[in-house]
Amino acid sequence: MIPRRMSPKMLKKLMKQMGIKIQEVAGVREVIIRLNDSELVVKNPQVTLMKVSGQDLYQVLGQTERRAIDEEKELEIPMEDIQLVAAQAGVTIDEAKKALEQTGGDLAQAILLLKSSKNTSK
C-alpha cells in the first residue's frame, strides 16, 4: 500500500523498486496525434518518458488544438522520381507525373501502372 503523504525522495525510491524509470524529454516543440479524420496538436508540450516493464509510456502535457486533415494536400513528387519512372516505363515526363500522382508517389506502382496500360493499348 502507498502511504497518503509521501516525499518525492520516497516516491523515487518506491518507483525504482518497481522498475519504473522516469525522464524528461527535452527539446520537444510539438506533438501530433493523427486520428482518422483530424489531428490533435500540442504545441510546446512538457513530455515525460516512463519506462515500465520494457515498455515506453509518454506523458504529454500542454494546450491541445484539434485541426482537420487536409485531404487534398499537394503531393510533392521530386523531379528525379518522375524522370526515373518515365525512363523505366518508356513514357513522357507528363505521363510519369500523372501515374505518380495516381499512386500517391509510389515509384514501383507507377511503373507497373504505366507498363500495364502500355501493354493493353497495343
**CATH number of the structural domain spanning residue 105:** 1.10.8
Split at pLDDT 50, 70, 90, the class of 71 is: low
| The one-letter amino acid at 78 | P
Average pLDDT, integer, range 94-102: 93
Instruction: Name the average pLDDT for the chain.
Output: 89
What CATH code is carried by the domain that includes residue 55?
Answer: 2.20.70.30
Answer whether residue 3 shows pLDDT above 80.
no
- Domain of residue 86, residue span: 79-120
Enter the C-alpha cell of residue 12: 523515487
Q: What is the pLDDT of residues 101-115, one digit of tens each?
A: 999 899 999 999 999
**Greater pLDDT, 49 or 121:** 49
pTM of the model: 0.50
Buried b (16+ CB within 10 A) or exposed e, 44-72: ebebeeeeeeeeeeeeeeeeeeeeeeeee
- Asked whether residue 62 falls in the same domain as residue 85, the answer is no
In a domain, 62, yes or no: yes
pLDDT at 1: 55
